[in-house]
Amino acid sequence: MTVRPAGHKALLAAASAQFAERGYHAVSIREIAAAAGVSLSALYHYYPSKQALLAALLHEGMDDYQARCAEALAEAGHDPARRLAAVVGATVRYRAERSEASLMLMNEARALEDEERERYRARQREASDRFRQPIDAGVAAGIFTTPYPDDVRRSIIASCNAVAQWYRPDGPDSLDDLVEHNIFLAYTLLGYERRTPTSKVRQLSRARADDY
Amino acid sequence: MTVRPAGHKALLAAASAQFAERGYHAVSIREIAAAAGVSLSALYHYYPSKQALLAALLHEGMDDYQARCAEALAEAGHDPARRLAAVVGATVRYRAERSEASLMLMNEARALEDEERERYRARQREASDRFRQPIDAGVAAGIFTTPYPDDVRRSIIASCNAVAQWYRPDGPDSLDDLVEHNIFLAYTLLGYERRTPTSKVRQLSRARADDY
Amino acid sequence: MTVRPAGHKALLAAASAQFAERGYHAVSIREIAAAAGVSLSALYHYYPSKQALLAALLHEGMDDYQARCAEALAEAGHDPARRLAAVVGATVRYRAERSEASLMLMNEARALEDEERERYRARQREASDRFRQPIDAGVAAGIFTTPYPDDVRRSIIASCNAVAQWYRPDGPDSLDDLVEHNIFLAYTLLGYERRTPTSKVRQLSRARADDY
Amino acid sequence: MTVRPAGHKALLAAASAQFAERGYHAVSIREIAAAAGVSLSALYHYYPSKQALLAALLHEGMDDYQARCAEALAEAGHDPARRLAAVVGATVRYRAERSEASLMLMNEARALEDEERERYRARQREASDRFRQPIDAGVAAGIFTTPYPDDVRRSIIASCNAVAQWYRPDGPDSLDDLVEHNIFLAYTLLGYERRTPTSKVRQLSRARADDY
DNA sequence: CATGAATGAGCGTTCATTCAT
DNA sequence: GATGAATGAACGCTCATTCAT
């Protein structure tokens, strides 16, 4: 399936890991090439510059996240509550399953040079709008009763995004539980009446990783 | 009044602005010195290294934030709801009023070298605990009824922190409103019954800055 | 013939000349690169650091000197007097023919960093032992009759080493003469009876270079 | 007695120790000032530059050595053998008792800038001549019978100078013994007939320090 | 395609020295 | 006379990138 040579994937993986952990400017292309097990010249064979490598990673990550959202929304139908739940679920899953890519998407955009950064910022606004639309629709329809829909939207987005920073697969809650809880919290913030906690048992588990 | 020489403050201000905007590794000390209007050698007269400058900035910011929290908590008494509100309020205010410092505190810790980073991470855990303690106390006392106190805590922290990224003083809401709303949202998430929206009028304002 | 790129040899030659003349710390890598006619980056392509360049030079010089001693000793058989003469001859020739390298070997070891310096000092002790062994053997066998073999050994070593400081190829004596004289002086100090001055004609020539 | 302030001596002592051990260019004036316990500005109060400090140290050391030689020669009368013995003795004592200064005098002259270096080299030639004169006189008078007086002179000088590198006060031989032995070796090299080993007992002691 | 050699610019840092007080 | 602040130049070294093969 992969038309690209073998080194290509290793390069993306190595760069993603390093950029996510230490930041674009802290990582040299020699380190990336070495971590990927390819020569410096091979790196430049695949990507014309360090910038291009970053841009490719960010857009690839965005593509993946966007596709997951589109799929979830397609299944959700027209109900604003179900649509918002779809976005929250897709986002939480992406932040948890692809935390490395998520950290890059959230933190490294500033390392893009001017033109590419603007293109990327536009895609981030699209992502923000995927939350905004069902919320505004639900508020307009009267099914979301929060007096502060903007603050609620920001809170929901921030909560989903934060998953990338603290979630560990070996934590106490399953990923499915995490998704459910976040949807429940979002409904709570929105003042959505039909919401119920999925699990009846009170969860008192403690997270492993630092969540601040 | 200032016992330190003049260039000292300008150096901290310039470094803080640059680190917050572009990241530690993207900023050269020559840029910092130039932005502060001092010579490169003068910078080294005040701080022995770029690392030390970063560490000084992070600890100074943490000191400031910590002091604001301590003051707010001192006024809050023993009620868990009031204590949580104090921490939320202090955090939101700090993130809004000192957004530059906040971005540095949240994003640049990873640029610290090993030992100093550990010291700093410990202070971040203390900050996290300032949220955890009133929440756990309120849950134990039965006044917070959320089934997911850990997820709620993370959500509250993430929402407060996010303020640093999107808040602009010239936005539609006053800072006092922003604080009230965030306390209201926190109470909502916690299932705290005595909460009421401070303002009766539905807010439909739109944020200016990108909030994703 | 040379598998190494062209710049490599020029670099070693330039560094050796500069270190010998002015000392490791007085020479900048930019000066070395410029003297070798290569760029600063090229220097770092061949050697990872200034230290590594020094270490390479010192070990290469030591290898050369060691090989010359080994060859001379192999020809000398078992007689202590002939063995001592072999070491004196090899040393005097090396000090004269490779005076630049010799000055580096004698003066720049202190610029090595800890670990490498210890390795190098061990090789210097080996070199010292190459004098000590035939002297002690000859003393034990009764063919060297000096009452102060340790002081004699030090004097012989010092005399050989000093050649690097004062010898000039255009001086009045040939190198073969210089070797003979030094062997004669060594035998004289040791109280070795069979010695004779090789040349019957009294030499009254004056050295050119400063010999203090 | 000292008309100079207290810091002055400490400065000379610290600089001498550092220069002797690590070399002029490896030592910063900040290190010297710190080691002497004086401020950087104080250093510049006493000496206008690092160069001047080095020159002062070298000339001071030379003055001391010269005075010791003059005193010994004054006692020696006119006999070439006694005069040579006086110079050897004074030199060995100076190299042993002031080994730090001696190492500086021998190794750091190259760090002097042009004019001062020439002045210093002239003084080194004077020192060399203090050996040359009695040797040539003894040869002319027929009391020194060596066929190679120049090589002998260089050997004697090298042997005396080497004392600074290997002598330790806690070694097996007393300094008086060391002087005697060196005079004996010098007479041996010169073919001076009246010489006798001072101590009748064969010495088999081993030196402690590395003597290569 | 793929490689090792090579580059110029810039990095964080230290240097000997000077200056105001 | 003595101090801390400040400086410009240079240090050893690494950077992203290019080139010849």
**Set of chain A residues whose Cβ sits within 8 Å of the Cβ of B167:** none
- Does at least one atom of strand F sit less than 7 Å from the CB of A39? no
CATH superfamily of A54-210: Tetracycline Repressor, domain 2 (1.10.357.10)
pLDDT over 50 at C202, yes or no: no
Span A1-48 CATH architecture = Orthogonal Bundle (1.10)
3-state SS, residue C14: helix
Physical contact, A and D (3 or more Cβ pairs within 8 A)? no
Q: Do D96 and D163 form a contact (C-beta atoms < 8 A)?
A: yes
Instruction: Find the mean pLDDT for residues B108-127.
Output: 95
H or E, element range at A94: helix A80-97
pTM: 0.85
Higher pLDDT, C120 or A4: C120
Q: What share of chain D is helix, strand, coil (3-state, %, to 5)?
A: 75, 0, 25
What is the mean predicted confidence (pLDDT) over C168-172?
A: 91
Does the distance separating the beta carbons of D158 and C158 come in below 8 Å?
yes
pLDDT in tens, chain A (212 residues): 444 456 688 899 999 999 999 999 999 999 999 999 898 998 999 999 999 999 999 999 999 999 999 999 999 999 999 999 999 999 999 999 999 999 999 999 999 999 999 999 999 999 999 999 999 999 999 999 999 999 999 999 999 999 999 999 998 889 999 999 999 999 999 999 765 555 443 344 444 445 56
**Mean pLDDT value across residues D169-174:** 90
| Structure letter (DSSP) for residue C169 | T
Of A16-25, A167-176, B12-21, B190-199, the poorest mean pLDDT is in B190-199
Q: Is the pLDDT of residue B32 over 50?
A: yes
CB neighbourhood size of B48 (10 A): 9
Using the Cβ of D204 and the Cβ atoms of chain C, whether some distance falls under 8 Å is answered with yes
Q: What is the pLDDT, as a whole number, of residue D150?
A: 96
How far, CA to CA in Å, does D31 sit from each of B46, C26, D11, D17?
19, 17, 11, 11
Mean pLDDT score of chain C: 89
Q: What is the pLDDT of residues B68-105, one digit of tens each?
A: 999 999 999 999 999 999 999 999 999 999 999 999 99
DSSP at C171: S
Question: For D74-128, what is the HEC assignment?
Answer: HHHCCCHHHHHHHHHHHHHHHHHHCHHHHHHHHHCHHHCCHHHHHHHHHHHHHHH
> Residue D91 has which token pair?
């030199």
The pLDDT of residue A166: 96
C119: left (phi over 0), alpha (psi -120 to 50) or beta: alpha
Interface of B with A in 6-35 (CB under 8 A): 21-26
* pLDDT for the residue D96: 98
Whether the per-residue pLDDT at C178 is higher than 90: the answer is: yes
Separation between Cα atoms, residue B160 and residue B122, nearest integer Å? 20
pLDDT of residue B10: 85
CA D97/CA D111 separation, integer angstroms: 24
Listed as own residue / partner, the contacts of B159-162 with beta carbons closer than 8 Å and 24 or more positions apart are B159/A151, B159/A154, B159/A155, B159/A158, B159/A159, B159/B185, B159/B186, B160/B88, B160/B91, B160/B92, B160/B95, B161/A158, B161/A212, B161/B91, B161/B95, B161/B102, B161/B106, B162/A154, B162/A155, B162/A157, B162/A158, B162/B95, B162/B211
Interval D51-90: pLDDT, tens: 999 999 999 999 999 999 999 999 999 999 999 999 999 9
Report the gap between the CA of B76 and the closest CA in chain A (Å).
22
3-state secondary structure at position A192: strand
CA of B40 to C1' of F5 (A): 13
Q: Residue C28 has what pLDDT?
A: 95
Return the percentage of chain C with pLDDT > 70, whole number: 88
With a 7 Å cutoff on the CB, does C50 touch strand F?
A: yes
Residue A82 tokens, joined? 């179900």
- pLDDT value for C171: 85
Tell me the CA end-to-end span of chain B in Å, nearest whole number. Answer: 42
**Token pair for residue C120?**
């190098």
Q: Are C185 and D150 in contact (CB under 8 A)?
A: no
pLDDT score recorded for residue B3: 40
Give mean pLDDT, residues D187-206.
63
Q: How confident is the model at residue C55 (pLDDT cuts 50, 70, 90)?
A: very high
State the number of CA atoms in the 13 A half-sphere of D86 facing the CB. Answer: 23
Q: What residues of chain B lie within 8 A of the CB of A203, using their CB?
A: 147-148, 150
**Structure tokens belonging to residue D140:** 């002319």
Q: In the structure, what pLDDT confidence band is assigned to residue B26 with cuts at 50, 70 and 90?
A: very high
Tell me, in Å, how far CA of A108 is from C1' of F17? 22
Q: Which nucleotide is nearest to D28 (CA to C1')?
A: E15
Amino acid present at D136:
D
- Residue B91 near residue A158 (C-beta atoms within 8 A): no
Percent of residues, chain C, with pLDDT higher than 90:
81
For B73-106, b where at least 16 C-beta lie within 10 A, e where not — what string? beebeeebbebbbbbbbbbbbbbbbbbbbbbbbb
Cβ atoms within 10 Å, residue C114:
7
Indicate if the pLDDT at residue C203 is higher than 80. no
Rounded CA separation C169/C147 (Å): 36
Parse chain C into domains and list their residue ranges. 1-48, 54-210
Band of residue D1 on the pLDDT scale cut at 50, 70, 90: very low
Residues of A in Cβ contact (< 8 Å) with B24:
23, 25-26
Strand F nucleotides within 7 Å of a protein CB: 1-19
Summarize the confidence of residues C53-76 as an average pLDDT: 96
> Looking at B97-101, B200-204, D36-40, D96-100, which range is the least confident one?
B200-204
Span D92-113, average pLDDT: 97
At A156 the pLDDT is: 98
Per-residue model confidence as pLDDT tens digits over C133-159: 999 999 999 999 999 999 999 999 999
| Assigned token pair, D6 | 């207290």
Chain A CB within 8 Å of residue B188 CB: yes
Report the alpha-carbon distance of residue D82 to residue B40 in Å, rounded: 63
DSSP class of residue A47?
-
Do A53 and A117 touch, CB atoms closer than 8 A? no
Whether C117 shows a pLDDT value over 70: the answer reads: yes
Give the lowest-confidence range in B12-16, C80-84, C203-207.
Answer: C203-207
End-to-end CA distance of chain A: 41
- SS3 string, B163-196, reads HHHHCCCCCCCCHHHHHHHHHHHHHHHHCECCCC
Amino acid identity at A66: Q
CA separation for the pair D195, D144 (Å, rounded): 11
Structure confidence at residue D210 (pLDDT): 53
